[in-house]
Amino acid sequence: MGNKSIFAHHRIKDSKTFFLWNLWIFLIIASFGACENDKLVPPEKIDLADTIATPEGYKLIWNDEFENEGLPDSSKWIFEHGPNWYNNELQYYTNRRSENCRVRSGNLIIEAIPEIYDNRNYTSARINSVEGWRYGFFEISARLPRGVALWPAIWLYPDEDSYGGWPKSGEIDIMENWSWAPEQIYGTIHTEAYNHIQGTQIGKHIQLVEPWNNFYRYQLEWQPGILNCFVDDSLFFSFENEGTVQTWPFDHFFHFILNVAVEQYAPGNESSWVKRTMEVDYVRVFQKE
């Protein structure tokens, strides 16, 4: 009689059942055929660099998207800490203290808090990138704090004092903001010839709409002959190489500093002070291809 199909042993009671049974058999056979003839390929892994808007002529070389909850990635960031800082600032920068610095919901949080800490009345955080760079395009998406006596900043500082201590080796302020002008964003450079101690610093500002409610992209293009500061691709400050180390020490490696300072001399009623937060969505570094 020959070999019977294994399915012939099942009794089919009605046409509806017969139809469903055959549909099930068809799907099984089809699935085997698909596996044999059209092998399933895992979805292609997405390269994060492909999802990031890259300036023309540049490539992404370093970034932090702040995707892992907890303290900032210690392979990328280190804490500067202590009570004694320049400009008569009032804060104590704490070391790896999550109340002042943490990653939450995809953002880096730096929080200044009014509290007694090691004989200071305020705490905050200041973190430096482990890595440094010479030249490139730097972009940071951030939402700023708003409140009395606050001084948030995103800036680049020399890895080494190649030409001497501050300001001889330079400083590049990509974003500075003060509580007395909350909608003004400043880009500034400091050198031996141009610095705020002498009142000769060089910089400009741009007016933004509620940077404490809105994320903006703070950007720096740094090349051997020029520094350009942008907000959301709008150029607002340029400084050209004047050919001397006293005016242009920007030919060696610099690292990021992200911080929120508390000013002593800022106007306002400090009794109304509450904790304030700077949120950073990402930090990205691009260099010429």
pLDDT tens digits, residue range 30-43?
443 433 334 443 44
* Tokens 């920007």 found at: 250
Mean pLDDT, range 4-17, rounded to an integer: 37
> Is 289 among the catalytic positions?
no
Query: What's at 153, amino acid-wise?
Result: A
The CA distance from 110 to 266, in Å, is 20
Please give the backbone phi and psi of residue 7, each rounded to the nearest 5 degrees, phi first.
-75, -15
Q: Quickly count: other Cβ atoms within 10 Å of residue 212's Cβ.
A: 19
- In angstroms, rounded to a whole number, what is the distance separating the alpha carbons of residues 41 and 53? 28
Section 15-26 average pLDDT: 45
Amino acid identity for residue 287 in this structure: Q
Cα dihedral value 175, 65, 216, 203, nearest 10: 20
Dist. CA 95–CA 93, nearest whole Å: 7
Tokens 């955080």, residue located: 125
Which of 171, 192, 221, 263 is an active site residue? 171
- pLDDT tens-digit series, residues 193-205: 999 999 999 999 9
CATH architecture of the domain covering 48-288: Sandwich (2.60)
**Catalytically annotated residue among 89, 111, 139, 176:** 176
Does the active-site annotation cover 176? yes
Determine the average pLDDT of the residues in 249-269. Answer: 86
Residue 187: pLDDT band (50, 70, 90) is: very high
Listed by start position, the domains of the chain span 6-37, 48-288
- Single pTM value for the model: 0.82
